[in-house]
Chain A
Amino acid sequence: AQSVAQPEDQVNVAEGNPLTVKCTYSVSGNPYLFWYVQYPNRGLQFLLKYITGDNLVKGSYGFEAEFNKSQTSFHLKKPSALVSDSALYFCAVRTNSGYALNFGKGTSLLVTP
């Protein structure tokens, strides 16, 4: 089954520092990988996706993610964190049928001033 894992429940970073939110995947076939962000009591907002091509994917709000096939990882990154980036981040992978998504458990990002 297609699955992703987010090994960190929470990531803390100071404003202005680079941030990384980790995601590893387990798939059969080509991985279709996504990152979403969720602010409190809101729906999920799409950040970026990897389908094929360049391993470095650029997305919304200055975020990017690096697809690493040998390490089966798809880590989310941002060069300089903002306090407003504080939110819950989900990595997801497309399932084999029905086009639904399997989500990780989420990582809470806290950016302190």
Chain B
Amino acid sequence: DGGITQSPKYLFRKEGQNVTLSCEQNLNHDAMYWYRQDPGQGLRLIYYSQIVNDFQKGDIAEGYSVSREKKESFPLTVTSAQKNPTAFYLCASSIRGNQETQYFGPGTRLLVL
């Protein structure tokens, strides 16, 4: 899992509640990503950021928000608008460039109470 940390490992959300997942990296990578993993569906891209103060929507951005105020941090907020948030969330980072390898954090499992 390299120099990428995600917290918490497990997170419980109540109906109507916003929750924030933390992702921090000490690899000096410019680019960071959030993926959602559901059984049998592989990973799907939520948001990505290529540089500080800039981010772009991925394939399933609805109900999620992000910020990128610091190079090493890319928090993901799961809002109440996300009606089916139960999943395993993975953060990744890489050097900018389409040949570069992405490195993943250990993940956060989000469950709805």
Interface residues in chain A, defined as those with a beta carbon under 8 Å from any beta carbon in chain B: 9, 32, 34, 36, 41-46, 49, 51, 90, 94, 98-106
Mind listing 30 A-B residue pairs with CB under 8 Å? A32-B98, A32-B99, A41-B88, A41-B107, A43-B105, A43-B106, A44-B90, A44-B92, A44-B104, A45-B104, A46-B102, A49-B101, A51-B99, A98-B48, A98-B56, A99-B31, A99-B48, A99-B50, A99-B96, A99-B97, A99-B98, A99-B100, A100-B45, A101-B43, A102-B45, A103-B42, A104-B42, A105-B42, A106-B40, A106-B42
Determine the distance from Cα of A51 to Cα of B100 in the docked complex, in whole angstroms.
9
What is the distance, in angstroms, from B63's C-beta to the closest C-beta of chain A?
19
* Known contacts A94-B98, A98-B48, A99-B50; A43 and B1 CB within 8 A of each other: yes
> Of B31, B40, B43, B103, which is within 8 A of A103 by CB?
B43
Determine the distance from Cα of A94 to Cα of B33 in the docked complex, in whole angstroms.
13
Q: In the complex, which of the residues B35, B102, B107 has the most CB atoms of chain A within 10 Å of its own CB atom?
A: B102
CB-based A-B contact count at 8 angstroms: 66
The answer to whether B109 has its CB under 8 Å from any CB of chain A is yes
Binary CB contact string for chain B from 18 to 49 against chain A (1 if under 8 A, 0 otherwise): 00000000000001010100001111110010
Cβ of B99 and Cβ of A100 under 8 Å apart?
no
Interface SS majority for chain B = strand
Interface residues in chain B, defined as those with a beta carbon under 8 Å from any beta carbon in chain A: 1, 4, 6, 31, 33, 35, 40-45, 48, 50, 56, 58, 88, 90, 92, 94, 96-107, 109
> Of B40, B42, B96, which is within 8 A of A90 by CB?
B42
Determine the distance from Cα of A99 to Cα of B35 in the docked complex, in whole angstroms.
13
* CB-CB nearest in chain A for B34: A100
Q: Which residues on A sit within 8 Å (CB–CB) of B107?
A: 41-43
* CB-CB nearest in chain B for A105: B42
What is the distance, in angstroms, from A16's C-beta to the closest C-beta of chain B?
29
What is the distance, in angstroms, from A36's C-beta to the closest C-beta of chain B?
8
Determine the distance from Cα of A64 to Cα of B42 in the docked complex, in whole angstroms.
21
What is the distance, in angstroms, from B4's C-beta to the closest C-beta of chain A?
8
What is the distance, in angstroms, from A107's C-beta to the closest C-beta of chain B?
10
